[in-house]
Structure 1
Amino acid sequence: MKKLMVIAILVCSCITLSFSLYYVGVIFQSDLSLSSEARPMYNEHAERIVIISQEQGSFMMNEVQKGARKAAELHQLKIDFWGVYRSNLEGLIKQIDIAIASKASGIIVEGVDHPDFDAIVKKATEKGIPVITINSDAPNSLRKSYIGSDHYQEGIIMGQYIATQLKGHGVVGVIQNLVSPTTDDLRLKGLREVLSKFDGIQVVLASNDIEMSQPKGQTNDILNHNPAVNAFIGLSTDSGESIVQAARARAGKKEYPIYLFDDSPQTVMLIKNGQVKSGLSQHYEEMGVMSVNLMKRWLDATQLPLENSYFTPISVVTSPEVEVSAP
């Protein structure tokens, strides 16, 4: 009899314990579900994108990163920002090679139209890593797409604006990037195409000499050989202050209208102070968002193939508050 009672007690205890454990489990799962909904966590195996810049720390790259972070958070992607601090093809290629070795899911990089760059993009492609170029292109490479401004169209837009400002007459000195000229070549092509239609406008450049690589040296060289120059255009970004200083040092009280192809805080301040006539807004943050969105589309294999290029808006900025042209 005692044995039966002991067995019955043990059976009841086991049943009670089983029910208790079941309800504890249900409550725990419910709490975990609520916690997960309130605070989503990234999968440790989430896809990782590496964005590599030729000018790490620049205004352009900071804006690109701002947009890229927003898009990466939306898609729950891991994202790293690498780059070199001065335009340096060798350093840029080394960064891409490291990204390949680290098995990045995708690479977004400022392109360079050069065989060595094309070779490293080919290596990434062969490893199954898609490459998208941003802000500057490498059209002969195996990159999947280009996101950024149409630099040729930038030249067209700025040329039309300058021709109107000069009323079809003047000698215009052009300051360019002689070290890494690909982007500037496209801008200059568009600029010349427009200004050549005006018989009263002459375009002049500094001597094609490595000693003239800096904006100040180019400005002085143009003034030495073309004293009739009455306006300057800076094709390369962040060249404004150097052009302003050199022109003022040579001209005394004479004011030269200066036009630039960027809208960095430095350029905006020069416009606000009346030292520069206009800049060009290229909507870098939008480039960052678009590049990550398109990389995610490629990785998910949705809506493929990508278009060859995705051009972001261009606007002429005449004051910190006003954008006067947006095609």
Structure 2
Amino acid sequence: MRKSLLILIGVLCAVLLYFTVRSADRVFRSDGELPQTRAEREPRYRLVLITQELDTPFWNEVAAGAKAEAKASGAGIEIWGSYNKDQDDFLKKLEIAIASKVDGIILQGLDTEAFKNLTKVKAAFYGIPVITVGSDVPMAESLRRTYVGSDQFAAGRMIARQLISDMGTSGTVILMGDDRQEYYQRQRIQGIDDVLKSYPGVKTAYAKTGETREQVIAATQDMMNKLPDVDAFVAVNASIADAMIQEIGRRSQVGPYDIYTFDDGSDSLDLLKAGKLDGVLEQSPDKMGRMSVNLMVKWLSGEIMPLNTDGYLTDIRMLKLKEAP
């Protein structure tokens, strides 16, 4: 009986030893790495990037840059947003992000009271840092930590200098933008005016328009009726460029006019390649995405405190047809 008991104990020990060895092999067979714990698998920080213009080339590049930097930094990021500048949906996404208590919010600045209330009151109440990207809202009005993107005033100046180079030092220029005149558009116009004020032979007129295609066409038609001797157009809001050009082309040939816009429109580069634009102000959306995530992670980790409230500016350049990608 005792002999049988010893044999049974020996067999049990052998079985236990076998499974112990198997478990140890699973742990160490992958280059000696221990399996990740739940804490190690989860990202360091939960970030959200929110835009009003999902699936446009410009904002796709911002998102791609943000994702790449988040992966390199060990942060998690989700890309949220709306289509066709649906402000109500955009603001709802911002509210959801705040209620979800994410670690940081990176988003396109929107120059409205509702946006400023959400960032200045609700996000601040929960201690969630906000960084604007691509388009800014003044820090005092939004309490955003910083801005990452183009110097819009300098971008306006660059377009104006190109216009003078192409058109000459006299002529009539129509500037077209939103009837809301958002902050980034006001900055662009100020930059354009800052250059053109040195050329008394250049006359400018500003046309306000809604964002629907019909509204843009009607506004273009009205301005061309009022100023039949117009020489140049600048779409300060890039998303209206296509409808504006359509109406110009319906009235006469597009060729005689000098026409410019910015690359944050969904079809800006296609219009340039087609020869319907004389120049596009090219920005650095991929760098904007990367830099905004990098700065957010550094702020959350305490590596940079405080962030520069004046913002971190990315490169801009004037793109002509021969340089179009």
User: Which bin holds the TM-score, normalised by the shorter protein?
Assistant: 0.7 to 0.9
1:219 aligned partner: 220
2:237 aligned partner: 236
Q: Specify which of 96, 103, 106 is matched with residue 104 of structure 2.
A: 106
In structure 2, relative to structure 1, the CA distance for the partners of 1:290 and 1:45 (3 Å cut) is closer
CA displacement at 1:131 relative to structure 2: 1.1
- Tell me the secondary structure at the aligned position of residue 116 of structure 2: helix
Unaligned stretches of 5+ in structure 2? none
Unaligned stretches of 5+ in structure 1? none
CA displacement at 1:244 relative to structure 2: 1.9
1:128 aligned partner: 127
Question: Partners in 2 of 1:265 and 1:29 — Cα distance?
Answer: 50
1:66 aligned partner: 64
In structure 2, relative to structure 1, the CA distance for the partners of 1:50 and 1:86 (3 Å cut) is same
CA displacement at 1:193 relative to structure 2: 0.6
2:258 aligned partner: 257
Where relative contact order (Cα < 8 A, 6+ residues apart) is larger, the structure is 2
Q: Sequence identity of aligned pairs in percent?
A: 30
Q: Equivalences for 1:43-192 in 2 at 5 Å?
A: 43-44=41-42, 46-121=44-119, 122-139=121-138, 140-192=141-193
Question: Partners in 2 of 1:98 and 1:209 — Cα distance?
Answer: 31
CA displacement at 1:23 relative to structure 2: 3.1
Please provide the CA RMSD for this pair: 3.0
Question: Partners in 1 of 2:252 and 2:280 — Cα distance?
Answer: 22
Question: Partners in 1 of 2:35 and 2:287 — Cα distance?
Answer: 29
Please report the TM-score for the alignment, with normalisation by the length of structure 2.
0.86
In structure 2, relative to structure 1, the CA distance for the partners of 1:36 and 1:67 (3 Å cut) is farther
Question: Partners in 1 of 2:14 and 2:253 — Cα distance?
Answer: 97
1:296 aligned partner: 297
CA displacement at 1:274 relative to structure 2: 2.1
In structure 2, relative to structure 1, the CA distance for the partners of 1:148 and 1:37 (3 Å cut) is farther
- After TM superposition, the structure 1 stretch with the greater mean CA deviation from structure 2, 271-280 or 258-267, is 258-267
Question: Partners in 2 of 1:296 and 1:44 — Cα distance?
Answer: 15
Question: Partners in 1 of 2:254 and 2:85 — Cα distance?
Answer: 35
- Tell me the secondary structure at the aligned position of residue 218 of structure 1: helix
Question: Partners in 1 of 2:264 and 2:110 — Cα distance?
Answer: 22
- After TM superposition, the structure 1 stretch with the greater mean CA deviation from structure 2, 303-312 or 175-184, is 175-184
Instruction: Tell me, yes or no, if the aligned pair for 2:239 and 2:266 is still in contact at 8 Å.
Output: no
Question: Partners in 1 of 2:269 and 2:255 — Cα distance?
Answer: 22
Question: Partners in 1 of 2:39 and 2:200 — Cα distance?
Answer: 64
Question: Partners in 1 of 2:6 and 2:287 — Cα distance?
Answer: 72
Instruction: Tell me, yes or no, if the aligned pair for 2:166 and 2:258 is still in contact at 8 Å.
Output: no
